[in-house]
Structure 1
Amino acid sequence: MAENEFSGPFAKEMSDFVELKMALGYKYTTERGILKRFGSFLSSEYDDLDSLSKEAVTKWCSKTLHETDNNHCSRASLVRQFSKYLNSIGIKAWVLPNKYYPKGNKYIPHIYTPDELTRFFSATDKCTYCSEVPYRHLIMPVFFRLLLSSGLRCSEARMLTVDDVDLDLGILKISDSKNHNDRLVPLSKTMLIRLQRYSEQVHSSGSHEFFFPGYKEKPMTLGNVYKNFRRFLWKAGISHTGDGPRVHDFRHTYCVFKLREWAEQGKDLMVLIPLMRTYLGHQTFNETAYYLKWTADVFPDIRLKLERYCEGIIPEMEEFQ
């Protein structure tokens, strides 16, 4: 960790707190950034504190104008944890009560319709050349199709290296993902063909580390992906509000369409859902079973079939590839 990374009256304690969390197996990348901002706030407003006061905590934890309820609660939760840590090492700190800030309504995933997907991918296929990111027009049609056809998280696709993509066997290697999960993800035949063609155009020189290179050979940023995503939604005539659709909804859509396909084929979901859990990199069965509800809601005609089962896996959504 960089020396003097944190500022404010508890800079050392913040550094030690992050080190402790990382030693326990947490990545703590986003959390480190939040603590930096909290430290800067304390430095400018309460630089002479020898204890963390209620006033300082509640003032910084107040919801900002453009902050979502979930992000606000996550930020407050981190400060609560840090306050508990300070108390544990003998520094007095006011602990924000649990549920001090109410969470907003749970996000309802947007399950893309076949027509929306056709229009969205048609827009990605018309992506134009950009001199600052010269491979953008080649990346975008493939990147978003990969999210849909494989159910990958956006960060998992962004961080793929060339070595992670086996274009002979048609396998993706996902390393140190959410919950420190490593797994292998098989590709459908049509997606593999697209990736092979893309690789011939982008990686023939062998000079790139990342499979989807961004600005100055770094991986694409989430901001860059989201900016292009919004542009393609607009061109496809798909309305977007603060509540969605989101890039992550391609993962939701993959799961819902796959479960529908299996149910219509009369497959045993009790056998398939544990496989889907492994394929998606879920930690618990409930994370995967969650999609049974959305499948039944989106496709009520197969609700009775779904209610007879409870489990699922694997790729192939050929129609949109």
Structure 2
Amino acid sequence: MNNSHKPPECTYSGVLAQICKAFIIEKRAVGYEYRSEDERLSEFSRFSENYNIPSETLTEEVVKAWISPRPMESDRTRYHRFSIIRQFAEYMIRMGYAAYIPSSSELGKLHKSFVPYIFTHEEINRFFNAVDSMQPFAKTSAPRRHLVMPVLFRLLYCCGLRLSEATHLRGKDVDLQSGILTIQDSKFGKSRYVPMSEELTTVCAKYSKTRLIDDTDDWFLPSRDGGYYGNRSVYSTFRRLLLQAQIHHGGRGKGPRVHDFRHTFAVHCLQKWTANGDDITTALPYLREYLGHEHISATEQYLRMTAEVYPEISALMQEKYGYIIPGMEVVVK
């Protein structure tokens, strides 16, 4: 969970104010925090006052004006405005109100995002067989690499960490008694707790006994010079392991990337939950907190990815969760 304090409730105005509040209340009732979404919808309620809107009606005019491009605005920010108003419009329709639901095509052509590579379960097994077979080399510039990499890559896949979150872990951040990682000041300036599985906790405990410096302020996965592993060094090892595991790499800019372990973690979680019949609308907020996403729309992207990668459960996901599966290919790290 995030350690940040809950901000004050946003204020709403205009003829849609009460419906906006009811929408946020419903989302939070099923577990969503909806902090930034609350702020954005509050902004929309003020924006709507510039238009002549009939009572309890979301008109096409105001929706199109809201999602239109703004000067110096990033594609990601514009997509977040689009995402919240589409969810709100779908909520209004479901509640019996009149509302215009915007389609993805109305956003026009956004900047093409990188399409994540989702490892299959079989590829994951081959990759970890390769990383576990790494041998020590006395003359190498990183003589402990064979001890560090099996732990590092498991943290990326089993916990969905960003690479910098894993490499910047210090001894004090890895609680081997409770099996909980503390991710300090990560992306968006937030810290969070990440529980590990019992198996991963055992792997980390076994590795911890090999650490040369038993200092809680020292890096948990130190490089040879006592610092932390740089992205280039990890990527170089990653490419060699892919080759050994016979996983094709498409070349620079085509992946797989190290960051795709994070995407794969999320998709595999959702695939497992959906196959087990778990309630995804309740599980998504937990996944958001686990991954440290700022916006729930970033987490919802994995619903689409899961449906694409596992076509056998696509129909089930569309039937139960189609109203929250995004159609845009916007990937947020």
TM more than 0.5: yes
- Matched-pair contact (CA < 8 Å) for 1:120–1:236: yes
**Normalising by structure 2, what TM-score?**
0.60
- Matched-pair contact (CA < 8 Å) for 1:112–1:250: yes
Alignment of 1:128-143 (within 5 A): 128-130=135-137, 131-143=140-152
Give the partner amino acid of 2:304: K
Query: CA RMSD of the aligned region, Å?
Result: 2.0
Question: How far apart, in 1, do the equivalents of 2:119 and 2:276 lie?
Answer: 21
Give the partner amino acid of 1:118: N
Give the partner amino acid of 1:298: V
Deviations, residues 97-138 of structure 1 (Å, cap 9, x unaligned): xxxxx9864211111112211111111112122443222110
Aligned-pair CA distance for 1:195: 0.4
Aligned-pair CA distance for 1:304: 2.3
1:253 to 2:264 alignment: yes
SS at match of 1:202: coil
Alignment of 1:49-198 (within 5 A): 105-130=112-137, 131-198=140-207
Identity %: 41
Deviations, residues 199-250 of structure 1 (Å, cap 9, x unaligned): 0112574487100001310000001100100110111111112200000100
Of residues 230, 233, 255, the one that matches 2:242 is 233
SS at match of 1:233: helix
- Give 5+ residue unaligned stretches, structure 1: 1-76, 78-101, 312-321
Give the partner amino acid of 2:231: L
Of residues 291, 306, 312, the one that matches 1:301 is 312
Deviations, residues 71-102 of structure 1 (Å, cap 9, x unaligned): xxxxxx9xxxxxxxxxxxxxxxxxxxxxxxx9
SS at match of 1:217: coil
SS at match of 1:215: coil
- Give 5+ residue unaligned stretches, structure 2: 1-73, 75-108, 325-333
Question: How far apart, in 2, do the equivalents of 1:205 and 1:295 lie?
Answer: 41
| Corresponding residue pairs, total | 211
Partner of 2:294: 283
- Matched-pair contact (CA < 8 Å) for 2:171–2:216: no
Question: How far apart, in 1, do the equivalents of 2:246 and 2:313 lie?
Answer: 29
SS at match of 2:124: helix
SS at match of 1:216: coil
- Matched-pair contact (CA < 8 Å) for 1:208–1:217: no
Question: How far apart, in 1, do the equivalents of 2:141 and 2:175 lie?
Answer: 28
Question: How far apart, in 2, do the equivalents of 1:302 and 1:116 lie?
Answer: 20
- Matched-pair contact (CA < 8 Å) for 1:161–1:211: yes
Give the partner amino acid of 2:241: F
Specify which structure has the bigger relative contact order, considering alpha-carbon pairs within 8 angstroms and separated by 6 or more residues.
2
Deviations, residues 118-163 of structure 1 (Å, cap 9, x unaligned): 1111111121224432221101111111110000001100100011
- Matched-pair contact (CA < 8 Å) for 1:135–1:202: no
- Matched-pair contact (CA < 8 Å) for 2:127–2:242: yes
Partner of 2:278: 267
SS at match of 1:185: strand
Give the partner amino acid of 2:169: L
